[in-house]
Each structure stands twice: as C-alpha cells, then as structure tokens.
Chain A
Amino acid sequence: MSTALTESGTAATTARIEAHGITVRFGGLVALNEVDLLVPAQSIVGLIGPNGAGKSTLFAVLSGLLRPTAGTVLMDGENVSRSSPQERARRGLARTFQHPELFSAMTVRDHVVLAYRVRHAKSRIWSDLVTGRGFRRPPAQETARVDELIDALHLGDIQHRPVAGLSLGKSRMVEVARALAVDPKVLLLDEPSSGLDVKETEELAATLVRVVADHGVSLLLVEHDVELVLGMCDLVHVLDFGVKISEGKPAAIRADPAVRAAYLGEEIERADVQEQIAKIEQGEPA
C-alpha cells in the first residue's frame, strides 16, 4: 500500500490507483510525457484539459487498453502495468468511455445483469452452458442489486429496451450503471456529463457522490464541464499537450495563475460568475 500527499498537504491517504512517469508516444507524437497521477481511496479526482491534452490516452493506460511507452500503474500499491484490462477489472477497476461502448443488441437491464455476474458469478459464463440456468429466474440478490442500480440511474422505464437507439445521455447512464454493477474500487468516468441535460447531470453527480460515500469507491473523472469538476472533486489534475501543468484542490486550481491565465481562464471565470449568482440567489453574500 502506498500513501501520498496532496498538493495542499492536508491529507495523506491510501491510493487506489497511481500512475508514475507515464509516457506514451505514437511515433513522433508525445501524447503523454511523464505524467504522475494519484487517486486516493474514497475520493473524487478530476482530470481536465483541452482536446488533445491526453486525458483519454491516460484513461486508456490506466484501464490497460493501451500500454505506455514508459511508466508504471499501481492499484492498491501493486504494479499492474503489464496486466490486461480484464485483470485490472478483476482487481476492481471499472470505466466508462467518451463514446459509450455499449453492447447494441443487449437491453439496458442485461448490461447491468452481465456486469453483476462477471463480478459475482463469473463461473456462470461456463457453467450456464450445461446447467440450463438461463431458463430459470435469477437469484433474488442479483435482482435486488440490479434493480437498485437501475433505479439509482433512473433507467427503470427503459430497462428492457435494446440500448441501440438510446440517447447519448441515457447511454452514458447505462455505462455508469454497468460500471457500478461490478462493485468497483476505482471508477474511471470519461466525460460522463456529455450529452446529459441539466437534471440528468445533477442526478448523476448526486448518485456518484452517494456511491463514493456509501461504498468507498474512488472516482477519476475526465470532464469538460469545469463547473461540475470543480464542484464535486476533492482533487483536480490539469493536463495540457500531454504534460501535467497543475494539480490540487479545486480552489487551488481556480486560483492557479498559470492555469487561469494560460489555460482555463475563460471557463473558470464563467464558473466563478455562476457560483456568485448561485450565492446571491441563496441570499448569501457574494
């Protein structure tokens, strides 16, 4: 197990997943250059940056879909750099994708059912072939957990529809439900709010915060919605052109002159204005 100190120096915590010196080169292009990242237990960490900054590449490295040119990835202190994506999934890593990777012919519910079984009854992938369990009703425990997730993500009314044809927002919700069904220790979310409306985004944020609080899951969030990131994350990393230019608590990121001036200024100003307006509306001093 490893520990780490956040930038503010306030919390030394066990890291669920760590990346050290991650470098990824595609021919002459350096997509990531010696990037370090740490996601403490039971925390929400944000990863922001412009298009092409390397966020999705880093996600691919962390989840095992892409092998880095250099660097190591640790989960709960163990080196998983050479582990396959499914091995990392078995260790408790789950993720969603910027472009949802759903199983088009399967229903919403089947996505969650499969994910639940992969985690809790994996041998059924083989044993079902000879036991005929496919014809029987699922165990009550499975049904309860699947129902719980579907309700939490507000998917009840579409749970028996094939996912093909769902809106982007609903597709993201399905991906999140599927990811949560494996009871992950670390959940990587790639732009989860993209395509969601205001209400859906608020509900998703509330669900994620609840998951972190209730189940001790650690979240790493790639998000373009700066307000969402700064509002719900404990720690934020900022990437630009494959290099980490800043990390710290949201307030520190908000105040970081380098980030503000050179990188996020416009968005942060907008988030600041929205925060001021919200405070005024709630009768608080601006």
Chain B
Amino acid sequence: MLSYVLAGLGLGAIYAIASVSLVVTYVASGIFNLAFAAMAFAGARFFYFLNTESGWGILPAALVTLLLFAPALGIALYGLLFRHLRLRSPLVKIVATIGVSVALPPLIDLVFGKLAQVTAPGLAPRPLSVLRPFGAVVNMDQVTTYIGLAVVLGLGTAVLRFTDVGLKVRALVDSEALTSLSGTSPTRVSVGVWAASSSLAALAGVLIAPTAGVSMEGMTALMAAAFSAVVAARLRSQPIAVVVALLMGVATTVVQRYLDPESTLAANLVPSVPFAFMLVFLVYYAIRGQAGDSSTGGALDRAIRPEGGDPALIPSRPRAGRGLLTVGTVATVVFLVVVAILPAVFDVYWTGLAAAGIALSIALLSYTLVTGEGGMVWLCQITFAGFGAILTAELSSTYGWPPLLAVFVGSVFVVPIGVLLGVLTIRLGNLYIALVTLTFGLLAQTLVFTQDPFYNFGAGTAVSRPEFAMDNAAFAYVALGAFLLIGLLILNLRRSTAGLAMTAVRWSENGSRTLGISVVQTKVLISGLATYVAAVGGGFLALNFQSSLPDSFNPFIGLVWLAVLVTNGARSIMAALAAGLLFYLMPGLFQTFLPSELAEVPILLFGIGAILLAKNPDGVIAMNRRKIAELSERWRKPQDTGPGPEPASPPDESREPVATVGEERPVTTGGRA
C-alpha cells in the first residue's frame, strides 16, 4: 500500500507543480494559462534535445532548460502576447492562450524535429535506482518529483515572504493598478512571474516525460489534472491546489491497487479521477454559491477592467436594415459561388478535401452559436461532433437508418449531454466553463472514443454516404446545402427575439433577469442548439470519411478548430465555412507543394491567427468586411431606407453624432460630510 501512496505522491507532486504554475500566473496577471501544456511540452522537448539527442549531462541540460530556455520562453510569450491581454475580456484571454497552445508545439517540432519515439528520461540518472523505505518501492524518478516540489514550495515561499521581489509580487496580486501607482513597474514584476511560471511548466514537463512521454497528449493530460486542483483552489489558493494535487495523485495510484490493471474498469476509472475531483469541488462550490469566476486585483483594477466583454467584440454598427445589396451580402454571395464552383473544377483529391472542409464548417457553426452568440468558451464541441459521428455510423451501419436521417435524428440524442453540461456550468464564469468542458472532452476521449466497439483499432465504424451523393462532388454539395440550411437557422435566430434574449444574457445577466428573461433557459437553449449543430457536423464528417474515425475528435484538435475559426471570426457564418475549408485545404496545399518538414506549418498559422485575436477580436473576415464597408461608405450618399426587418434598425445610424455628456448637474450627496 505504501508503495502506491509514494508513487501517488510522485504523480501528485507533478500535478502540484503544474497547478502552482497555473495559479501564480492567474493571480498575478489575470490570465489563465491554457498554453501550459504547450509550454511544458516545449521545456520537455528542449531537455530531451540537450540530454538525449545532444548528449549533455542531466544537470547541465536541466539547468539550461529550467533556468535559461524556459524563462526566455515565458518572457518572449509575455512580451509578444500576454502583456497585451491585461485589459482584455476573459473570452479573448482564453482564446489567445489557446492560440499559443496550438502554435507552440508545431513551432517546437519545426525547430527540434518531430519525435517518433515519445518516451524520455527524466531528471534521475539511468538506469533508475530504487529505494525501499519501510519495505515500499520508490524509484529515483519519483524521488526527483518530491525534491522538485519541495524546492518549488521552499524557494517560492522564501521569495514571496522574505524578499523585496516577493513583496512586489504580492502587491501585484492585490492590485496591479495600485502597484503601478506606487512606483513599481507591473511589467517588470509580470515578466518575472511569467519567467518563473514557464520554468515551473518546463519542470513539470520534464518530470512527467518518463511516464507520459514528450507529447502534447501527455502534457495535455497533465494540464487537465492540474485544472482539477486549480478549480478546487478556486483559481487562487496555492496551498489548497498543492494539497488537492497530491491527493489526486495518491487517489489515482491507490485505486489501481484494487483493480486489475488490464481491466476495462481500470482503464476507465484511472483517467477519471481528476475529473471526479473537479466535479466534487464544483458541486461543493456551486452549493455554497462560490462557483463563479473569481476576480483578480483590487477595486481600482476592477473599475478599469472591461466588464462582461471586450469592447472590441461589440459590433461597430448594427447588422440589419441595410437592404439587400450591401457589401456584406455581395461578399457572401461571391464567396458562396466560389465555394460552390470548387467541387465542379477540383479533381477527386481536392474535392474530397473541400467536402471535408464543408462538413467541418457545419461543426464549426456550433462555436458560432455558443461562443459567437452566447459568449461562452466551450472546448468540447469536438466531443459532441465525435458523438454525432459515432451515432451516425452506428445508426446507419448497425440499424440500417438512411445516412442523412441518422445524422439529423441521431444528433438529437447528443443534445441532452450538452444540455446537462450547460446546466452544470450555468452559474460558472467563462474560465470555469472552458476548464470543465476541456476536461470533459478529454474524459470522453478516454472513456468513449477509444473504447470498443466504437474505436476498432482507430478505424471506427464504417458508414456509407447517401446513394445519391457517393462521389466527393455530390457529397460536397449535400454538405453545402446542410451548411446553408443551418446557417440560415442561425441567421434567423440572431435576428429573432431569442437572439436578442441571448445577447441580453451574454452582456448582463442581472439586466436580463430583472427584465423577465430566464438566464437558465436562454443558456440551456444555446447549449442545446450548439450541441446539436456540432453533432450534425460530426455526422457529416463521418459520412465524408465513410467512417466515424474516433481519433479525429481529440479535444486538442478541437482547440485547433477553435483557433482556425476565431482567426476568421467567431460571429460570422461565412467565417465558419472559410475556416472549415482552410482547415483541410491549407494542409493539402502544404503537403502537395511544399517539403514535408513544413507539414505542421498550417497548424502553427492557425494558432498565430488565434493569438492575433488579442488585437483583432472580430476575426479576419469581419475586419475586412468592415474595411470594405468603410471604403464603400465613402462612395455612397447617405440615405435613409426606413425601418428594416426585425429588430428594426434603420441604416444611417452610424453617421449620427456620438452622444456626449452635456452639462453635468451638480449632484449632491446625502451623506454626512
């Protein structure tokens, strides 16, 4: 038993280091580092490069990795991205950090080469020696994790408690604005925090590498486990995060003592432990009414922080009421015509990619709903798409349903899962929603997608396309028809009373509730619709590939989906179509016309696109549409076309002068002097 506990403490120590890193950056900068896994991967990969590939000793390789490379990476990311996110909305912060998590791994692969063999040595010398305290067995890898955690906690406590730098960091945590006013540069302190945090990420990555490998999958699993500890700590308390991380590690290993390691139960139960911890703490905090996003900083910081959303995410002008012949309409029609021509002019290979892109764009419309309209960052849309794919394949192949019926009706069965998740996260802030949904996606990947009979050695369940759409071109048109149908439904939703209610709930829950709008019903409606659309998209992907292909619904790929979508625009229906096509056509272009070493460059570009969201939250398509519209405005004579369709919005509003505060009435206060 003691061996299991000691092994669990080793695992928990790595979780603890990861959670400390996440908590430190969150409380000091207000940014939850969803790029943690990518940074851990970068550190582990660099250590592997020095130690294994270049023959450096463990100590110099570790010192260079942890004290030079990782801090430099943290500082570079802070300078390039994180410092620009300080006053951005939670939504932009989350998506931008996801951009880093998408862009960094392919960049590292480009520089150091992609690893075929992911198992790697840690900080303990090989061959591993073993200690036997009280008859239990502990290997040196585990001992190094204990030492690592002890050093992190000891050094961290000493620096924070007894040094001038620590005082400044604590001041920054309390209030960045006041710290700045007192003459301390928050930038310098933040640079230090990000450098230290990056080192911790690298340390966690190096320590987990011997068991999880130098792979993004392993690092993402580590990050997901750390999420549970961080949620338990309500994003702020390091001691609680460390204790819960250690408990999780112990629970994960101790539970294996009572299970057959080869059994399905063990395979399902062990990876579920962190999610179970997260669920328990979420329910506990929800009951206590403490489950919302905790705000960082002091009163002054809150006063200058954008509330609810990013000002840049607010449309600069209404979308309705400009008549049929607008720049946006013309651009949309031209784009659709071009897309419709593609299957007719492409050969079979490219038509196949285009069809896959159109099918994917249906799934991406779920992000348009949940993130673009609802303002929530759900990171498990790909999981719902995976459920849709599996159900489509099963209903069609096993039960003989017509393929399209299987897609549209089968997707209905996925909706309750999304609604349930929506209800569970209804009172949570965006950050918690992102953490919970990503963890749920990882859990579903382990418990459902990789299990037989769905997995079938990665091949999934075979499914046929409809008889009238067996070839790629015909199927592409069927998928395009489905995309347009769902796009029209979303457009209708956006202009409807339901759309107004969704927007209202997104921007002010109190304002909505006191108006008589049910926040719960509205959010559940968004969750249900988005889940259905994602599942339909997954079904079409399965039809396109003629198999459910469960491996293609990995949550990490879902982050890439989100990155490529937000690069184009989270609120635009056409952006979803463009994103879907880009996701498949761009890698096709690279694989066909460029060296194979550059195969991952498209993913890198998608990640960079999401990072750029920090500067242009509307996305590329909306930005360009706005610029074209501004150019067009210069050539148009202002005209009033009267009330437009519901909600009525006449067209010349943007030319009205901005209302200004007039002469202020001297306001008296009723309080004592």
Contacts and interface: CB of A to CB of B under 8 A. Distances in A.
B668 A224 contact: yes
A119 B504 contact: no
Interface in A75-117: 84-86, 88-90, 93-95, 97, 101-107, 109-110, 113-115, 117
A198 B449 CA distance: 66
A197 B661 contact: yes
B83 interface: no
A101 B511 contact: yes
A165 interface: yes
B494 interface: yes
A242 B511 CA distance: 25
A26 interface: no
A100 to B, nearest CB: 8
Nearest to B504: A103
B497 to A, nearest CB: 4
A145 interface: no
A152 B657 CA distance: 20
B516 A90 contact: yes
Interface in B322-346: none
B656 A167 contact: no
Given A89-B516, A106-B503, A137 B667 contact: no
Contact of A65 (B311, B514, B518): B514
B671 A51 contact: yes
B648 A105 contact: no
A50 B657 CA distance: 37
Contacts of A65: 510, 513-514
A126 B662 contact: no
A226 interface: yes
B507 interface: yes
Contacts of B516: 86, 89-90, 118-119, 122, 182
Nearest to A132: B492
A161 B649 CA distance: 9
A45 to B, nearest CB: 16
Contact of A161 (B309, B498, B654, B662): B654
Contacts of A273: none
A160 interface: yes
A278 to B, nearest CB: 15
B663 A85 contact: no
Given A85-B514, A103-B503, A198 B653 contact: no
A128 interface: yes
Nearest to B522: A125
Given A121-B497, A266-B673, A86 B665 contact: no
Interface centre among A105, A126, A136 (most CB of B within 10 A): A105
B506 A105 contact: yes
Contacts of B663: 197-199
B649 A109 contact: yes
Interface stretch (B48-56, B101-109, B639-647): B639-647
Interface residues of B, number: 64
Contact of B500 (A114, A135, A165, A227): A114
A248 to B, nearest CB: 16
Contacts of A103: 503-504, 506-508, 511-512
Interface string A131-144: 01111111000010
A109 B673 contact: no
A195 B664 CA distance: 7
Interface centre among A64, A90, A103 (most CB of B within 10 A): A103
Nearest to A271: B668
B279 interface: no
A158 B511 contact: no
Nearest to A198: B665
Interface in B491-505: 492-501, 503-504
Interface stretch (B13-21, B256-264, B313-321, B470-478): B313-321
A89 B515 contact: yes
Given A117-B497, A128-B498, A143-B648, A264 B309 contact: no
Given A103-B504, A110-B647, A162-B315, A195 B497 contact: no
Nearest to B494: A134
Interface centre among B492, B497, B507, B670 (most CB of A within 10 A): B670
Contacts of B671: 49-53
A114 B504 contact: yes
Nearest to A85: B513
B659 interface: yes
B659 A94 contact: no
Nearest to A115: B515
A166 B646 contact: no
Nearest to A267: B668
Given A89-B516, A133-B496, A107 B667 contact: no
B186 to A, nearest CB: 26
A166 to B, nearest CB: 6
B219 to A, nearest CB: 36
Given A86-B513, A97-B511, A49 B670 contact: yes
A169 interface: yes
B308 interface: yes
B653 A159 contact: yes
B132 interface: no
A58 to B, nearest CB: 14
Interface centre among A90, A113, A134, A165 (most CB of B within 10 A): A134
A196 interface: yes
B120 to A, nearest CB: 48
Nearest to A90: B516
Nearest to B659: A170
B495 A134 contact: yes
B660 interface: yes
A125 B501 contact: yes
A271 B643 CA distance: 45
B412 to A, nearest CB: 15
A219 to B, nearest CB: 15
A79 B307 CA distance: 34
Nearest to A169: B661
Given A102-B507, A114-B501, A134-B496, A107 B653 contact: yes
B596 interface: no
A143 B499 CA distance: 19
Interface centre among B494, B497, B643, B669 (most CB of A within 10 A): B497
Contact of B647 (A118, A138, A161, A201): A138
A280 interface: no
B650 interface: yes
A70 interface: no
A52 B669 CA distance: 12
B658 A137 contact: no
A114 B499 CA distance: 10
Given A84-B513, A118-B516, A169 B662 contact: yes
B517 interface: yes
Interface in B258-317: 308-309, 311, 313-317
A195 B663 CA distance: 9
23 contacts: A63-B514, A86-B516, A86-B518, A97-B511, A101-B508, A101-B514, A102-B507, A103-B503, A113-B648, A114-B515, A118-B516, A119-B516, A122-B516, A125-B498, A128-B498, A129-B489, A135-B492, A165-B658, A225-B667, A226-B668, A263-B670, A264-B670, A266-B673
Given A128-B499, A158-B659, A162-B317, 13 more contacts: A50-B671, A53-B670, A85-B510, A85-B514, A103-B503, A103-B504, A103-B506, A103-B512, A109-B647, A113-B647, A126-B498, A135-B645, A138-B647
Give the 6 A-B CB pairs with smallest separation, nearest first: A50-B671, A160-B653, A128-B496, A134-B495, A101-B511, A89-B516
Interface of A: 48-53, 63-65, 84-86, 88-90, 93-95, 97, 101-107, 109-110, 113-115, 117-119, 121-122, 124-126, 128-129, 132-138, 143, 146, 157-162, 164-170, 178, 182, 193-201, 224-227, 263-264, 266-267, 270
